[in-house]
Structure 1
Amino acid sequence: MGKFSRAELEEALHHYVEVVDRCSATEDWSPFADLFTEDVEYIEHAYGIMHGREEVRRWIVSVMKPFPQMRFPHEWIAFDEDNDAIVISIRNVLDHPTEAGVEFWFPNISRIVYAGDGLFASEEDTYNPARDAPRVVGEWVQAGGVLRSAPQEQMKHVFTR
């Protein structure tokens, strides 16, 4: 058994989802970093490993700058209570610019580890944006979507299969 109850893990996840949804709605991604401990380790398979809340803040604001309205609804959740971890299947979604209900998306699996006091000690995102994002973002742009800026972050690890 981990340090935290299932109820506390569920409450922390609920808060995490609320903050992510608010970041997308307001297009301000800075509060996302406040979900984590000051010494968080954030493993991002395409962009590298970040250490510390402020490094995560700089990265998330920068990486989301072209499409700050991207949403991240989840499809399923698994609780690993022995390790205070939550695994989430997420869709990285850009809504169609003119047709309600039409989405452009690619999959992502995230594992977050709870540290207590509403904060997470780590996150690991497992997906392949080098393969998936150009197609999805390209289709969204063809449908009339407009990037708010040129990409600000370069992927460090590129897997195209």
Structure 2
Amino acid sequence: MPDFDRAELDEMVRRWVAENQACEEKGDWKPLAELYAEDATYGWNYGPTQEFMAVGRDEIRDIALGQEMEGLEGWTYPYQEFVVDERSGNVIGLWKQVADATREDGSHYQVDGIGGSWFRYGGNFQWSWQRDFFDFGNVSALFMEMITANALTPGMMKRIERSGAGPLPGWYKINTAPVALW
């Protein structure tokens, strides 16, 4: 693998964080698609039986950043730290998942544990792929807590109903996605 210019990678991370913050404010993550190469892939695991994979910028925009983020308007994903390897072009960003809803004590609902994204830089200020990782058990527990407390927005309720209705575009049984997760 070629070496990458560290200043260019740092600028890519800066652009990524700025665009993420702008998308959070709008409640629309689709503009992030422009920061992926045309043939990029983006995937993650959904527990012991399912995984997600979007292949190409259009699927990333429409499915990963569209369908999969619907109902999460108002949530933020503040990055805590980045690890950048200019030799390989790998970037790992560690983030939290924080809902805009609050508990009776005023604290925000947020996913416990560590969440993150592993990116591969493809040049031209675009990612060639992204793989997310998060604690699915903690995500499930948080959603159950929010359901029990009646703290879900109508959009989030619709998201949960849609997810339970059957396989959605981009969802695959483990090891059957068109591109391997790892």
Assess same fold via TM > 0.5: yes
Calculate the TM-score normalised by the size of structure 1. 0.83
Name which of structure 1's ranges 149-158 and 59-68 shifts more when overlaid on structure 2.
Answer: 149-158
Name which of structure 1's ranges 84-93 and 144-153 shifts more when overlaid on structure 2.
Answer: 144-153
Aligned partner of 1:105 in structure 2 is: 110
Structure 1 portions without partners, runs of 5+:
none
Backbone CA RMSD of aligned residues: 2.5
What is the distance in 2 between the residues matched to 1:157 and 1:9? 34
Give 3-state SS (helix, strand or coil) of 2:4's partner. coil
The 1:127/1:98 distance shift into structure 2, 3 A limit, reads: closer
Structure 2 portions without partners, runs of 5+:
175-182
What is the distance in 1 between the residues matched to 2:91 and 2:52? 21
What is the distance in 2 between the residues matched to 1:148 and 1:78? 34
Aligned partner of 1:92 in structure 2 is: 97
What does the per-residue CA deviation read over 1:18-77, in whole Å, with 9 as the maximum and x for residues that have no partner? 111111110112102111001001122224222101111111211111112221112221
What is the distance in 2 between the residues matched to 1:83 and 1:72? 25
The 1:156/1:68 distance shift into structure 2, 3 A limit, reads: farther
Name the aligned partner's letter for residue 53 of structure 2. Answer: I
Give 3-state SS (helix, strand or coil) of 1:32's partner. helix
In the alignment, which of 69, 76, 81 is matched to residue 74 of structure 2?
69
Name the aligned partner's letter for residue 39 of structure 1. Answer: D
Give 3-state SS (helix, strand or coil) of 1:41's partner. strand
Give the percent of matched residue pairs that are identical in Structure 1 and Structure 2: 22
What does the per-residue CA deviation read over 1:100-149, in whole Å, with 9 as the maximum and x for residues that have no partner? 973322231211111122111110112233x2223223434527441425
User: Does residue 1:128 correspond to 2:132, yes or no?
Assistant: no
Name which of structure 1's ranges 72-81 and 6-15 shifts more when overlaid on structure 2.
Answer: 72-81
User: Does residue 1:114 correspond to 2:121, yes or no?
Assistant: yes
